């Protein structure tokens, strides 16, 4: 029997509002433990929450970017459970009336566009952070994270493979970054992804029993965990066993999922409306204001770059992977660079340097104006393409302008015909065998001789001039 996987994703994203969701404490992640706290986020009795409007704005922006419908009327609810990182014994979340619902995100996998349904995007508060690495068997709780704005985005079970799940997560993160509502840093926990996975005989519509994989530190980890889980469930069913509904962790070192706890049901949480907060009423004007502020989103920007600058779909795709890279590209072109050359140098040469240094374009020392300047030096023939690559490396290391590097290092291309003529003559004299072979019709030797002249000029000879003068010199000798 052939099985197919049915996967749904739950993503928690910490929104980058300056203050927490129900109090005025700052959300600064790097503050010393338990310094960004007050009676509200410590969950002290009698403290009253007040909803942060910025969180609603940002949640609406995400919902609209995911093609969701906005609830005109929604509310906050209490989700009751005990855990040391939850001092109130309940988390304020949204239960039956989420702020945004029934949207979709289109993903492209192997050239095929697929629409993934977004069930809901609802607001909640983050919990405190438990630390078990204090030594001496002690644990600590940091309440700085308690009450940080958190948006949970839940998909329909529309994903059918680990790869689709990976592409969904990547596309979602890209949109969140374009919206600038979160730093999306997975290592610091700003973005957390959980996958619900079940399998069923191919061609059937009934859902199998699902497991939930939590606490995976990267998207590629999520992909591997899903692959493992699909294989594990298949093996179980083929051997006549049954899948248990449970939460499983991911052991990245061993590449396996492991059982953590049996899954609670919604009724275990005794949800009820939060009595200390009024309902959230988003009228058409509020929705229209947020819609009007939405930036150009990745798909639209990709299409515009293709159209405006004549880029290939591939180049436009690579450039728009992050908003920062798309902004960098457009700034380079505005500074006078040829659009296609700028795309090529950004996606190939500069990208290689960034990857080697494990850096993002945001922290790159080369200003877009400097990259445009480098391309200009190449365009006017002042430096060769080969030298330009060297200059780029120096720019990357020092942040200096290309003009200054070229001047200081004496890298200006030799376009003086007499200097090249003398180098050509020396090479021809020093290589009588090759010269004779060329004259005997062995065209391949020409490339070798060009290389020798280039070497004699320390790579600074103008390639076109070298070609022309060498050809002329060899032909002249022939006569």
DSSP string, 271-312: -EE-TTSPPEE--HHHHHHHHHHPPPPHHHHHHHHHHHH---
Looking at 5, 6, 7, 41, which residue binds Zn ion (CB under 5 A)?
A: 41
Of 38 and 277, nearer to Zn ion (C-beta) is 38
Of residues 376-395, those binding Zn ion (CB under 5 A):
none
Q: How far is the CB of 196 from Zn ion (least distance, A)?
A: 33
Contact letters (x/-) for Zn ion, 404-433, by CB under 5 A? Answer: ------------------------------
Handedness of CA 336, 340, 345, 347 (dihedral sign): positive
3-state SS class at 80:
strand
∠ CA 171-177-179, rounded to 5°: 105
Of 35 and 244, nearer to Zn ion (C-beta) is 35
Of 128 and 186, nearer to Zn ion (C-beta) is 128
Q: How far is the CB of 22 from Zn ion (least distance, A)?
A: 8
What pairs with residue 5 in β-bridges? 199
Looking at 5, 23, 162, 424, which residue binds Zn ion (CB under 5 A)?
A: 23
B/e letters for 407-435, b = 16+ CB within 10 Å, e = fewer, are eeeebebbbeeeebeebbeebbeebeebb
Q: How far is the CB of 42 from Zn ion (least distance, A)?
A: 7
CA atoms within 13 A on the CB side of 143: 17
Of residues 186-215, those binding Zn ion (CB under 5 A):
none
Of 25 and 100, nearer to Zn ion (C-beta) is 25
Residues that bind Zn ion (rule: CB under 5 A) add up to a total of 5
Q: How far is the CB of 30 from Zn ion (least distance, A)?
A: 17
Of 23 and 99, nearer to Zn ion (C-beta) is 23
Of 23 and 383, nearer to Zn ion (C-beta) is 23
Q: Rounded to whole angstroms, how far apart are CA atoms 165 and 49? A: 36
3-state helix, strand, coil in the chain (%, to 5): 40, 20, 35
Answer whether 68's CB lies under 8 Å from 121's CB: yes
Q: Does residue number 277 form part of the binding site for Zn ion (CB under 5 A)?
A: no
Q: Which segment (9-17, 18-26, 100-108, 273-281) binds Zn ion by CB under 5 A?
A: 18-26
Residue from 127, 169, 149, 170 nearest 60 by CA: 149
Q: Does residue number 237 form part of the binding site for Zn ion (CB under 5 A)?
A: no
- Residue 168 CA to its chain's centroid (Å): 12
Of 41 and 193, nearer to Zn ion (C-beta) is 41
Which residues contact Zn ion (rule: CB under 5 A)? 23, 25, 38, 40-41
């Amino acid at each position: 029997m052939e099985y197919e996987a049915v996967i749904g994703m739950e993503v928690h994203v910490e929104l980058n509002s300056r203050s927490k969701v129900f109090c005025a404490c700052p959300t600064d992640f790097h503050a010393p433990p338990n310094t960004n706290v007050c009676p509200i986020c410590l969950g002290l009795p009698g403290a009253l929450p007040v909803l942060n409007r910025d969180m609603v704005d940002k949640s609406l922006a995400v919902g609209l970017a995911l093609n969701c419908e906005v609830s005109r009327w929604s509310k906050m609810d209490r989700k009751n459970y005990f855990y040391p990182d939850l001092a109130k014994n309940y988390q304020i979340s949204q239960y039956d009336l989420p702020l945004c619902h029934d949207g979709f995100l289109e993903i492209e996998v192997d050239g095929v566009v697929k629409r993934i349904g977004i069930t809901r995007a609802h607001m909640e508060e983050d919990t405190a952070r438990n630390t078990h690495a204090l030594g001496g068997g002690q644990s600590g709780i940091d309440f700085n994270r308690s009450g940080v704005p958190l948006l949970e985005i839940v998909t329909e079970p529309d994903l059918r493979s680990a790869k689709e799940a990976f592409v969904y997560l990547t596309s979602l993160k890209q949109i969140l970054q374009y919206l600038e509502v979160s730093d999306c840093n997975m290592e610091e926990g700003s973005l957390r992804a959980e996958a619900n996975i079940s399998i069923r005989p191919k061609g059937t519509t009934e859902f199998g029993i699902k497991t939930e994989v939590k606490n995976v530190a990267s998207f590629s980890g999520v992909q591997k965990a899903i692959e493992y889980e699909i294989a594990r469930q298949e093996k179980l069913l083929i051997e006549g066993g049954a899948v248990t509904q449970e939460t499983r962790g991911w052991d990245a070192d061993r590449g396996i999922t492991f059982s953590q706890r049996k899954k609670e049901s919604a009724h275990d949480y005794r949800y009820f409306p939060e009595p200390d907060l009024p309902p959230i009423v988003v009228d058409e004007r509020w929705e229209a204001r947020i819609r009007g502020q939405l930036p150009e989103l990745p798909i639209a920007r990709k299409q515009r770059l293709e159209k405006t600058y004549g880029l290939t779909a591939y180049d436009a795709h690579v450039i728009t992977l992050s908003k920062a890279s798309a902004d960098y590209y457009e700034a380079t072109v505005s500074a006078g660079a040829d659009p296609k050359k700028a795309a090529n140098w950004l996606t190939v040469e500069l990208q290689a340097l960034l990857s080697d240094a494990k850096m993002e374009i945001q922290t790159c020392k080369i200003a877009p104006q400097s990259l445009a300047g480098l391309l200009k030096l190449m365009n006017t023939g002042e430096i060769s393409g080969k030298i330009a690559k060297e200059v780029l490396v120096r720019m990357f290391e020092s942040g200096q302008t290309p003009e200054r590097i070229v001047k200081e290092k004496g890298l200006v291309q030799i376009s003086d015909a007499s200097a090249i003529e003398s180098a050509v003559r020396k090479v021809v004299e020093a290589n009588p065998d090759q010269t004779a072979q060329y004259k005997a019709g062995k065209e391949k030797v020409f490339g070798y001789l060009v290389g020798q002249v280039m070497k004699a000029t320390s790579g600074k000879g103008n390639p076109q001039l070298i070609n022309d003068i060498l050809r002329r010199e060899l032909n002249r000798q022939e006569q």
